[in-house]
Amino acid sequence: MAKVISTLSDAITYINSLYDLDATAPTAGDEDYTVWTSLVNAAINLWETEEGVLWDELFITLASAADGDKSTDGTTEYTLPTLFAFPASAYVWVGTGTSKTPYKVIDVSEVQLLANNVEKWCYFVKGFLEFNPNLTMSTGDTISYNFYKFATKVSAGADVIEMSDPMFTVYYAVGELKKEEGDTSALQTASQKMESMKTKNTMPAWFQSDNNLEDSTDEGLG
């Protein structure tokens, strides 16, 4: 099912329809636009920090990140993306095409024990990806890994709301605006949408209840 809305501009339009019932939605610079944007971001923060949930939408690859070092320059230290929260890969791959080398991700607490080690390992610490300093890194090779990111807050109308059902932000904002009037119906709808997103987040994809990959070569051909 396609999303009803996807951007901040969409959210502002729907908040206007549900709360103000005005034919014209506020635009950037208007007081309502500023307040409603703050409420949308508050909803994003609630979604991002929902206890016990790691959202599928926040797992991404280094290649799709807006920043962060994506190729080697001969050194062993590389900057992480600004929105990097924690690694989601057991290995970091370095190379091009099908000629990539895996570097095992270790815990930073193990580094001192490996002072004389010359094997291929790396670790994440304080905004950097660090490779074994005893190795000589090549230049111009692609760095590849997956990671969990912090949610992107919105400010411009075209900014995308990352969650699977951005209408959660709309109902949360409307609910907060109507709360002083004693109307909690929108907040109840927002809560239902949060629970629905959590359910969808834990459901396996269609035909993916068993995630164990099988080697098709074992089955033979013909």
Three-class HEC string of the chain? CCCCCCEHHHHHHHHHHHHHCCCCCCCCCCHHHHHHHHHHHHHHHHHHCCCCCCCHHHEEEHHHCCCCCCEEECCCEEECCCCEEEECCCEEEEEECCEEEEEEECCHHHHHHHCCCCCCEEEEECCEEEECCCCCCCEEEEEECEEEECCCCCCCCCCECCCCCCHHHHHHHHHHHHHHHCCCHHHHHHHHHHHHHHHHHHCCCCCCCCCCCCCHHHHCCC
Give the rounded percent of residues in the chain with a pLDDT score beyond 70: 91
Read off φ and ψ for residue 84, nearest 5 degrees: -65, 125
As a whole number, the mean pLDDT across the chain is: 92
Q: What is the pTM of this model?
A: 0.87
Structure confidence by residue, pLDDT tens digits, 169-202: 999 999 999 998 999 999 999 999 999 999 999 8
* Residue 215 clears pLDDT 50, i.e. is over it: no
> pLDDT exceeding 90 applies to what percent of the chain?
85
Indicate if the pLDDT at residue 2 is higher than 70.
no
pLDDT in tens, 90-127: 999 999 988 999 999 999 999 999 999 999 999 999 99
Matching residue, tokens 């991404």: 60
pLDDT category at 213 given cuts 50, 70, 90 is low
Q: Which residue has the higher pLDDT, 219 or 130?
A: 130
Q: What is the pLDDT of residues 67-93, one digit of tens each?
A: 999 999 999 999 999 999 999 999 999
